[in-house]
Structure formats: C-alpha cells, structure tokens
Structure 1
Amino acid sequence: MLKIGEYNELVVESRVEFGLYLDSDNGRILLPNKYVSDEFNIGDTLEVFVYTDSEDRLVATTLQPKGIVGDFVFLKAKEIVSFGTFMDWGLEKDLLIPKSEQQERMLPPRKYLIKICFDEKTARVYGTAKISANCDKNTQDLAAGQQVDLLIHSLTEIGIMAVVDNRYFGMLYRSETYQDLAVGDRCKGYIMRLREDNKIDLTLKEPGYSSVKGSGNTIVDILNTAGGFIPCHDKSSPQEIKEIFSMSKKEFKRAVGGLFKRGILALEKDGIRLKQGEKPENPEKLEEPEKINPWNSKS
C-alpha cells in the first residue's frame, strides 16, 4: 500500500517528456525530470519519497526530507502566512504547521521541534508543535530500567522534557541530572519509573548498581586526563563533584569506594590519586562499593 509522507519502492512504468511515471496502487505517480538519473530504466524499482505538491497531486522525489510521517524533528521556520507557518524540511514544498497546531507564534528563522503527521481526510502531510499531545500515552511496551533514545524538547524549572523512542514523552528531573543538555540534543537514557497517570520519569544513569560501574570508568578517565590527581573528596560540595565528574556526590562516593577497594585509587586528605600504572583493564568489574566507606577507614 502506498504510504504518503514516507519512502516507497515503486516500479518505473513509463517515460514522458517531463519525467517518469511510477506505478502504485494509488495510480501513476510522477517523478519529475529534475530527480531522474540517466541510469533509471523502465521496469526498475526505485526508492522514492511520496508527498503532495502545491496542487495536491501525488509526486515522487529522490530528495531526502529531514523526517517522515511519525518522526519528531527540529525544523527551521521559513515563512509566516495567515493560516500557519511553513517550515524547511528539505523538499521543494515546505511543511505547513497550521495555526491550530502551534503552541506559540513560530517565527523565522528559529527552529522548533515538530512531529510530522498525515491527515487521512485530505491526504496531506503537515506538522504539529503540540508534542506531548501527539505522543503515545499507552506505555505498556515500556519497563522500568529499559534503555531508550531521548530527544530533548524543552527545559523547565522542574525538569528536562524529552521525546522517548520517537514515540512517548517523558521528563528528566533536574535534581537527578548531572549532564548539561540543550534543546535538540539526542542521547541515551533509561526509564526510571512509569507512573499511574501514564507519565514517564527518566534518568540518564542506568538504574541500580550498574550505573556505578560506569561511574568508575568515568572517574578513572578523568583522573588520567588530569595527571592522576584531583582535589575532590568526601568533604567536597555536591556542586563541585557535579562540575568535575557529572554525577551526584552519593554516586561519586560509591564509585570511589569500589575503586579504592580494588587498589586502583589512593585516598589523600586533599583528594583522590590514581595509583601509578594502575589504570584497570576493566574498571566495570567493580565489587559492591556500599560495603566499604574508604574515607571512614582512614580516620
């Protein structure tokens, strides 16, 4: 079945003066000459993007848009008209964001996060800036601890809002996020909890002890970069630890405990030092650090 606003594999049916006609279950679709290569022949199967032109006729192109129907993408506002805003999405015909689908007035040349949608009644592709309202509210396919792809949507006082797996909407709490993120960033994250109201709480750290293993790697790498010593210890402020290691003070102490127990770190009164020649082959093989408080053992 032909999918408008997506890539389709269509067979070249005939050649005309102004392009190639491609066969589809919706009838013939024109691939204009500007997109036709000398290598294309009748009977060939071509992968093309199909959408409607300015006269609402189905047309094919070999150009690659910045997204297809269902995708969340950042697009630049190009032109304001009485009924909406046109966005540059990499094709000859710009993508319309109707006024009714805007959260705020969309001004060129700013970029906005858009979901590309398809209107079955008009067979037109359009965009919406109402992101959370157009995300899937059914989270039954998700589970706590699951790794997901995040696209940062907005920054608020409480948290960082993100599109999850190009489908859902969730939030990273600022108090639990130790990495600088900006709108438009893509990163990996984890499901921290699925709430009864179908909202999703996210985290950048793998839940449970697994995150501490990765933190051990981080501490060793930063120590190596700093020449083996960093003036950070159990009396350092949470903010100082966050700025240097991008982790909470609790996680820092747990990870340092594991590294100390393995003899990788030496604890000095004014900081931590990587023992000479002690970069571990596999820092992830840490033992449970809660069983030891290295700073208490020195007192």
Structure 2
Amino acid sequence: MYNGRRPERQKVAPKVASPSNLMAGMTLEMTVSRQTDIGYFLRSGKDEVFLHVNEARGHLHMDEEVEVFLYHDHENRLAATMALPYVAMGEYGWLEVVDISPRMGVFLDNGINKDLLLFIDDLPKLSDEWPRPQDRLLVALKRDKLGRLLAKPVTENEITQFSVPADARMKNKQVEATVYKVIQAGAFLLTEDDHILFIHRDEMDGRMRMGQTVSCRVSYVREDGRLNGSMKERKEVKYGEDADKLLEYLNSRNGAMPYTDNTEADIIREKFQMSKSSFKRALGKLMKERRVEQVDGWTKVIDNQPL
C-alpha cells in the first residue's frame, strides 16, 4: 500500500565507493567535498557518502561542515540527509504508524523521507492486535544483516529503567495509556506519566492492539509501583446504573413487574439487556435500600414511593 509519504523516484545518484566506517543510523558532522547536478559528496576521514539536493537544507558550499543522518535510500545505497530523525541509534521514542504491509510489517514516521520498518516478526501473531495508522509505537533502532535500519520494540528491561513508580493515590484515577505489548493474558501499557500498567483481558471492553491509546481506570496499585487497570466501570457504579434501569422500568409499569430473582436468565436478558447475575445484584441493591420488595412472583416498589 502506498501511503503518499514517500517521495517520487529521484534521479540516480553517482555511485560511491563502499564506505568502511560509515553505517546507517549514525548522526555525524561531514564536510562537503564536491558537488554534482543533483547533490553533494560528503566526506568523513577517508569515507564518502552522497547527499541528494532534496535532502539538503539550502545551497551548500565546498568545505562546509554539515550535520547529517545516514540511512539506506530506496535503492539500498547508504545516503545522507540533513533531516534529523525523531529517534536515532541508541535512543528510543514514540513513532507514529503511517502504513501497513501484511507481508512485511508496519512503517513508522521517523522524521526523514524514508519510513522506518518494524518487521512482522516483532509484531503480535494475530493481525487484529497489530497497530493501525496513527497509532504510536515505543521503539528503538537496529540494523539488519545488511546494515539497513529497522525499528525494534523497546524491551521490558529498558522500559523498567525509565518507568516511574506510582503511589497509592493513583487508585481509581482515570489515566491515558498506550499499549506497548500484547500477551495472551492481557496488555502492558505505559501511561502519560510513564507508569507501567497492565490490563487483564477480563478487564478489557474488546481486543486491544499494540500502539492503541486508551482511557482506563486504575484498579490496583502494586507494591512495586506498577498499576493494574480496567476499562470497565467500578462494580458499585455499574450496580447503580442497572438499579436505575430497573426502577425506570418499574415506573413505566405503575411500580410493579412480573420479574424477580427467580426469573429465567434468557427472559432477563431479553427484557433488560443484562445478565441474570447483574439483574440479581441490582435487585438486591434496591431491596437492601428498601425501595422494592418481591411478592408472589412480582417485584413491586414499596409503598409506591416516587421513583
């Protein structure tokens, strides 16, 4: 899939002798040694690399020193650009997904004209857990066997080093967090304040994907400062909403309905779109508050009190 971000094919640059000390991912100062119609040769020691005019910032002069980033261009030649990357070698950061290749992986915007590939082997096995365009991934850089740049997910050890322990006051707070790893039991996320948070699959409102940013509630603060989260409402809030739903239904029927905690589950689900266990909890809440009672297979509002 073409994402509209890659430049049109440029004129073929002159061939450069294979550099011995320069590698993709390096950011360094180089000196302009000569100029051609379509760009400049830059030198560092005995090594030379080509800078296309489209990758230069304005006109350059002989012997001028410029800061460049090295990468492999679309012809797999080592080349230079004066556009510095968001994430350089030895660094990590959040990069936006700009394109997806089912056979190769996902492409990330690293601030230069050539997007950065996160290879399929570093992505979840299930395609619906893959990131989507505009999601963000926490990555570092690596080189393949041919020296070309690839993205790699930041390791658990690296995240542990820069993450921030949370304190007990975070419990029940709502936070924004981004998924950095999906496992069978759930997903690991990093909050905006760099707290590590885990959401179990039972606490999700649907399958989560790598790179997805969600809002969730902190359900537990561990002793080590890590968080457990939930995308579901607190039980007491949910019970209250279900109880209000039953009261609204009772009010529409003059304060009585032919349903109790003995009613079959399929009837409960059809009438109220809730499970029987949720129905019984909501009904139990109303009975404990002395707002309703069950009489002869009916649920009635006590003394027809206002709803």
What's the TM-score once normalised by structure 2's chain length? Answer: 0.45
What's the TM-score once normalised by structure 1's chain length? Answer: 0.46
Structure with greater Cα Rg: 2
